[in-house]
Amino acid sequence: MRIQWFPGHMTKAFRMMTDELRQVDCIIYVLDSRAVFSCLNPKFDALTGKKPVLYVLNKCDLVEKEDIGKWLGYFASKGETCVAADSLNGRQRDNIVNILKRLNAEVIEKYRLKGAKKSVRAMVVGVPNTGKSTFINNLCGSRKTVTGNRAGVTRGKQWVTLADGVELLDTPGSLPPAFEDEKRALHLAFIGSVKDDVLDLEELAAEMTAYFAKEHPDAFKARYSLDEIPADVEGRFRAVAQARGFVLSGGRIDYARTARAVVDDFRKQKFGKIMLDVPEEI
């Protein structure tokens, strides 16, 4: 399955981020914990330059703690600062604010010596649907940015001020202009970082069934009450359709509903807490 989606607003978003870079002290790089490696956008590396970066493994509640621990260890081994965050609550708020101040301690001290108080300004970046806006709202303790469980909700920049001397710039989610790694592109499509409207949903679901048949067969069998998983795509679709009651008259499969069911089952954790990317594969 070949995936390519880079609408015009993403080009504008990168221009905006480049322009705003001079005004920020550091970068908060939000990643979806289900697909950490796939969420790393090479264009952001050039954007961040030498500014301090805080990597946030967001939606950590959607994966197992031991799997999150592996990624925290991976970033630590690279000398990077990384925290895990549950996008549904703000329990990490104080810790994240303290980390931001620590990362920017030098510039804060520089201003203090001049008798001035420095607010830390951080640009929040990430691919679409990693939960950037929800993450910001949790840090604020209120809904100050527009959120939505789909790609492309945030379209423009928005500054948000915390009460702790921290200012955050919310930015639109942006994908790489081209996907060189088809596996990473698929994983982004799985988690909803690529708009479903631009995808062939039946083809995406076929890729999902192949992934689960190989990587998590027990979870797939449990979800659809199967003794064995058919080796072919047609067989897997029929098995899911029969389990969900999507077989039409004459034994025909309702492919559209079956495909939607498979995709939704993954995104709603009906297969359990699944992590698509693991550090060992990098």
Q: Could you give the domains of the chain?
A: 8-170 (3.40.50.300), 200-281 (1.10.1580.10)
Q: Is the dihedral of CA 60, 63, 66, 70 positive or negative?
A: negative
Could you give the angle at the alpha carbon of 243 between the alpha carbons of 239 and 245, nearest 5°?
110
144 in Cβ contact with 154 (< 8 Å): no
68 in Cβ contact with 55 (< 8 Å): no
Spatial separation of the C-alpha atoms in residues 74 and 95, rounded to whole Å:
20
How far are the Cα atoms of 30, 39, 51, 151 from residue 133, in angstroms, in the given order? 10, 16, 22, 12
Per-residue model confidence (pLDDT) at position 260: 97
59 in Cβ contact with 32 (< 8 Å): yes
The residues, ordered by sequence, that sit 6+ positions from 273 with a Cβ below 8 Å of its Cβ are 62, 63, 64, 67
Per-residue model confidence (pLDDT) at position 265: 98
| Parallel/antiparallel/unpaired status of strands 26-32 and 53-58 | parallel
251-260 burial by CB neighbour count: b if 16+ within 10 A, else e?
A: eebbbeebbb
Which residue carries 């027990």 as its tokens?
218
Q: Return the number of other C-beta atoms located less than 10 Å from residue 146's C-beta.
A: 13
Spatial separation of the C-alpha atoms in residues 14 and 70, rounded to whole Å:
31
Digits of tens for pLDDT over the chain (282 positions)? 666 655 556 778 788 888 888 899 999 999 999 999 999 988 888 777 789 999 999 999 999 999 999 999 999 999 999 999 986 777 788 899 999 999 999 999 999 999 999 999 999 999 999 999 889 988 887 655 544 444 444 445 788 988 778 999 999 888 876 677 889 999 999 999 998 988 999 999 999 999 999 999 999 999 999 999 999 999 999 999 999 999 999 999 999 999 999 999 999 999 999 999 999 876
- At residue 173, what is the residue type? G
